[in-house]
Amino acid sequence: MKKLSIVVFSACFLLIAFSSFAADIELAKKSTINTVLSRGELRVGFDSGTPPFEMEDKNGNYIGFDIDLARELSRAMGVKFVPVDIDFNEIIPALLTGKIDVIIGALSITQERNLKIGFSEPYFIVGQSVLLNKKLEGKITLWSQLNNLEYTVLSQKGTTGEEAAKRYLGNANLKTVEGDAGAFEVVNDRADAWVFDMPFNVVFYAEHGKGKVVHLDQPFTYEPLGIGISQGDPDFMNFINNFLRQFKGDGRYERLYEKWVTRTDWFERIRR
């Protein structure tokens, strides 16, 4: 009887192991990796209005930190890079419906977003900073001082800037706008402050804001940016994370950072 029990147990164990192995094979077959390789293209989604990460130059070409990163990822996969410019609010739905393969578009990793899509390890750390109306220079020296109904604070709809404004500046007169129009509203004296990603505000200040606005350049949030993919794809996630480790470790990351964040000579290339 004991011998029979051992035989039955062994058979059950082998059946479970085989079933698990078969499930792993089926999961691997469904990976985005196979779809991308068979198509020969990596469709990368982003919103081109987010300098220095993704922009459009005067010739209609897409340029920026994320664009170069996406090209490197496509090269690592041996496929063609296909840029897909999408309105920021539609970028996650585009991934979920299969219109794009991956999001590389200054997308902050949040718990809410992570319930819908998977994220790679962070490839860039940003935070929210404030562009302040010139008339408030000296009066407002900390972002927290804007938490008052007398101040009109703008943020971009659907972004972590909007979330940060609601969370930390809930007593202010908060308004959301499409795109980066809010930054120009502050320049044109139609709002008191604009809350957005610090790298964007650095670029905007250098290009449009000197002498016109004040940049409170100490970020008041911690926001890692990640590459977004569909959930349930461990093979693609493994590939991307290994790619990012290599990319950060062989000097390419530093060169990209110098090119798009430290230097500003690319200003003359972009559309105005």
Q: Residue 142 belongs to what domain range?
A: 128-221
Number of domains in the chain: 2
CB contact set of 111 (below 8 Å; sequence gap of 6+):
none
Residue 40 and residue 115 in one domain: yes
For residues 95-106, give the mean pLDDT: 97
Residue 144 and residue 170 in one domain: yes
Residue 134 and residue 215 in one domain: yes
Residue 235 and residue 247 in one domain: yes
Give the distance, in angstroms, between the CA of residue 83 and the centroid of all CA atoms in the same chain.
15
pLDDT-derived band at 165 (thresholds 50, 70, 90) equals very high
The tens digit of pLDDT for each residue in 35-84 reads 999 999 999 999 998 888 999 999 999 999 999 999 999 999 999 999 99
Does any domain span residue 18? no
Instruction: Tell me the C-alpha to C-alpha distance, in Å, between residue 62 and each of 70, 102, 105, 152, 271.
Output: 11, 16, 12, 33, 11
pLDDT-derived band at 162 (thresholds 50, 70, 90) equals very high
The tens digit of pLDDT for each residue in 70-85 reads 999 999 999 999 999 9
Residue 75 and residue 89 in one domain: yes
CB atoms within 10 A of CB 144: 11
Does any domain span residue 10? no
Residue 74 and residue 121 in one domain: yes
Does any domain span residue 105? yes
Does any domain span residue 25? no
- Higher pLDDT: 240 or 51? It is 240
Residue 120 and residue 37 in one domain: yes
Which CATH number covers residue 177?
A: 3.40.190.10
Nearest to residue 183, comparing CAs of 48, 88, 49? 49
pTM for the model stands at 0.74
**Is the pLDDT confidence value at 243 over 60?**
yes
Does any domain span residue 265? yes
Residue 133 and residue 215 in one domain: yes
Does any domain span residue 232? yes
The tens digit of pLDDT for each residue in 171-211 reads 999 999 998 899 999 999 999 999 999 888 988 898 888 89
The verdict on whether omega for the bond into residue 52 sits within 30 degrees of 0, i.e. cis, is yes
Residue 255 and residue 214 in one domain: no
Residue 116 and residue 136 in one domain: no
**Is the pLDDT confidence value at 7 over 80?**
no
Instruction: Tell me the C-alpha to C-alpha distance, in Å, between residue 226 and each of 106, 134, 158, 181.
Output: 8, 34, 17, 25
Domain boundary among 198, 221, 244: 221
CB contact set of 113 (below 8 Å; sequence gap of 6+):
92, 107, 119, 228
**Is the pLDDT confidence value at 252 over 90?**
yes
Q: What is the mean pLDDT of the chain?
A: 90
Residue 135 and residue 253 in one domain: no
- Higher pLDDT: 94 or 30? It is 94
**Is the pLDDT confidence value at 28 over 50?**
yes
Residue 111 and residue 237 in one domain: yes
Does any domain span residue 5? no
Does any domain span residue 144? yes
Domain boundary among 200, 221, 242: 221
Task: Tokens for 196, please give them.
Answer: 């957005």
